[in-house]
Structure 1
Amino acid sequence: MALFEGIEGAVAGEAGIAHFGDPVREQRRLAAGDALAALADRTVIEVAGPERLGWLDSITSQSVGRLAAGDSTELLVLDPQGRVEHAAGVVDDGNSTWLIADAADAEALATWLTRMKFRTQATVELRPDLVLFGFVDGGSAARSLHAAASADGRAPLVWEDPWQHVAVGGHQYSEVVDHPGASLAWRVGILSADEADALSAVVDRDAVAGLLAAEALRIAAWRPRWASEVDDRSLPHESDWIRTAVHLSKGCYRGQETVAKVHNLGHPPRRLAALQLDGSDAVLPEPGSPVFAGDDEIGHLTSVARHHEDGPIALAILSRRAPVGDLIVRADGIDIAASQQVIVPADAGAVADIPRLTRLSRRPSAPDPRDAR
């Protein structure tokens, strides 16, 4: 469903409206909670039936068997070697469990779930008729969405991204004290077509943001995504996804042995890093651009954005043995300097009780000269 297309300045991207003429301003308003982003790059899967939660619990990485109505989490589907195959946000309303998946993965995930039902009392249905809006909680955007969805007297269904906190049963490998995800209260509202039309009719250009803005906030929060950070080798440890999508002490599920082994022994083969890119070049490198330490290629970019405060930023998947210092990104024959912030340490899984470090972007204040007296 193409929403917000009629708003002046709308520029279409591959998966939806990329921006409305001023991505930086849209990003500021989105971060402040005063803009909505139509998430045409995601799709909803409805799982219904009395056995839905126990069944999902048995075949995915997350403990959802006792998920209460209105609660949110996220899950991964792993292959027998523990590699990530599918990912989805999860919210239950007491009657159905709603999975929010990247559009390119939704059909494959729904097909796999259907094949895994056997005699389980559950149904699986793709719901492309539903419309998703992303927003940051606490501002006028949340009030607008609630007003549009409450016209029939019901509260809107909203997925609360768990990335703000380490979930019960999860573990954070990042060693920073002030994790950037903690400050992003990201929400996704699930609306019917009529509710979405009602919402679209009352918002103006100042209250909307494009997908570029939503992606920039995600990347700045170090938040992994199936469409960007996952390939056919990805383990959840490598992108710190154990933080919110894997329950380390739940019962058996496919891939659990690898999850436990890598977590207990450490040393995942790759690790996610955040990069602050040199902003002197107006052109951003593309995802997939190689990353070098000297003459050695050590990884590639997975996500890239221009952040309204931090400038050009990126996430990159690197070899575990990659050095922790400054790196080079090579794009179209041009070398771009990149300052690295380690997200997942090389010995992730063996560092549970180490001191927490500050983020590179949180530079300490200069010492007071009076202290030397």
Structure 2
Amino acid sequence: MTSPLLDLPGAVSGDGIDAPVAAHYGSLYGEQRLLAEGEGFVDLSHREVVRIAGPDRLTWLHSLTTQHLESLPPGKWTGALVLSPQGHVEHAFVGRDDGEAFTAHTEPGAAAALVAFLDRMRFMMRVEVTDVTAELAVTWRPAAAGGGTGWYDAYELVPRDQLTAYAAAAAPAAGTWAFEALRIARGEPRFGIDTDDRTIPNEVGWIGPSVHLEKGCYRGQETVARVHTLGRPPRRLTLLHLDGSENRLPAVGADITVAGPDGSDGPGKVIGRVGSSARHHELGPIALALLKRNVPVDATLTVDGLVAAQEVVVDPEVGLHVRPLR
């Protein structure tokens, strides 16, 4: 669903699944600084939107997802995941309840599978699940957070037929390249790009933002709890600072190797994969990557021919701080 905001002056469309919206409007770094200062907005209207209505919606979603939703206050944005029985992330979304329905947005192309899963799980619950992507568009506007620092709090849902009027009122516009650069810099993973079909929430920093550790049972909870309290995740999300001497970014999914000797795997051994990458207005070229947990945090890496240094996002020792005393 191509955004009408691609008709704005200077708009250049994105790539891949982000092609329906603008990557930038002519000033990549200027747009980043604009957002960092709390101004402007980002058109994310290619994201897909699902509405769950009915009196049982929050209790039902609470039982199915990783998030504590039974007492979610109206208007509060929150992340949530659906896990496999083994604890792998199958669906990821961000949503809020308005007192009548819970409305969530997810990655482009992901709504159909999410709706299908939820429909299969309705049983006798008084809920109705609808794909409302054609009705609602997603935007991200720092001022919408109301002075808060939460990344999710800046999301807004706009009637799709009012998107052009919204843009005129919320101007200036910033593209997804600026949005992605800020997201990557803060270590916020993107489902399906920075994750794969083996990802568990503990590996990518979703404990807290999308996983509540003190709620009732849900599918996959045993894996999450075991890793959090007794063990360490098999992989860890890290922020890569890339060599900027080459004017390119690594391909999504490219292998990562250790640039020098490494006590466990040795040079040339694949120790992870790169996800999303961007050019940041202060940090330069950066990327998110999933690495084996035991890769030394000070090891220099090579990704897609580029040398990279690490900045810890998920501590490789995560879990040890809550290991029960014996």
TM-score using structure 1 length? 0.78
1:3 offset after TM fit, Å?
Answer: 2.8
Which whole-Å CA distance do the structure 1 matches of 2:207 and 2:272 have between them?
A: 21
**Change over 3 Å in CA distance of 1:317–1:213 after alignment to 2:** same
Structure 2 counterpart of 1:21: 26
Measured against aligned partners, the alpha-carbon deviations of 1:270-313 in whole angstroms (never above 9, x if no partner) come to: 11111111111111112212211132221111110101111111
Alignment equivalent of 1:348, drawn from 302, 315, 318: 318
Instruction: Please point out which of 127, 131, 150 is paired with 1:126.
Output: 131
The aligned counterpart of 2:263 is none
Is it true that 1:195 corresponds to 2:195 in the alignment? Answer: no
Q: Which moved more, 1:126-135 or 1:341-350?
A: 341-350
For residues 38-89 of structure 1, the C-alpha deviation after alignment (integer angstroms, 9 at most, x for no partner) is 1034111100000000000011111101112112211100000011000111
Q: Distance in 1 between matches of 2:320 and 2:280?
A: 33
SS at match of 1:251: coil
Check conservation: 2:257, 2:303, Cα contact below 8 A.
Answer: yes
| Residue of structure 2 aligned with 1:213, choices 178, 183, 188 | 178
Distance 2:195 2:111 in 1: 14
How does 1:53-132 map onto structure 2 within 5 Å?
Answer: 53-128=58-133, 129-132=135-138
Q: Label 1:312 to 1:111 Cα distance change in 2 as closer, same or farther (>3 A).
A: same
Aligned 8 A contact 1:163 1:244 in 2:
no
Q: 1:309 to 1:352 in 2, by over 3 A?
A: farther
In structure 1, distance between residues paired with 2:35 and 2:312: 27
RMSD of equivalent CA atoms: 1.9
Q: Give the count of matched residue pairs.
A: 308
5 Å-filtered alignment, 1:1-373, equals 1-13=2-14, 14=16, 15=18, 16-128=21-133, 129-137=135-143, 142=144, 164=150, 187-202=154-169, 207-293=172-258, 294=260, 295=267, 296-331=269-304, 334=305, 336-352=306-322
Verify the 8 A CA contact 1:136 1:187 in the aligned structure 2: yes
- The one-letter amino acid of 2:224's match is V
Letter in 1 for 2:164: D
Partner-residue secondary structure (3-state), 1:229: coil
The 8 Å contact of residues 235 and 292 in structure 2, kept in 1 or not, is answered as: yes
- Structure 1 counterpart SS, 2:184: helix
SS in 2 for 1:29: helix
Q: Is the 8 A contact 2:46 2:138 kept in 1?
A: no
More deviation in 251-260 or 321-330? 321-330
| C-alpha contact (below 8 Å) 2:76/2:153 kept by paired residues | no
Gaps of 5+ in 1: 143-157, 165-183, 354-373
Structure 2: segments with no counterpart, 5+ residues:
261-266
Deviations 1:338-361 (A, max 9, x none): 1111222223211249xxxxxxxx
Determine if contact 2:228/2:322 at 8 Å carries over to the other structure.
no
Query: TM-score when scaled to structure 2?
Result: 0.89
1:266 match: secondary structure:
coil
Question: What residue identity is the alignment partner of 1:340?
Answer: Q
Cα pair 1:289 1:329 within 8 Å, conserved: no
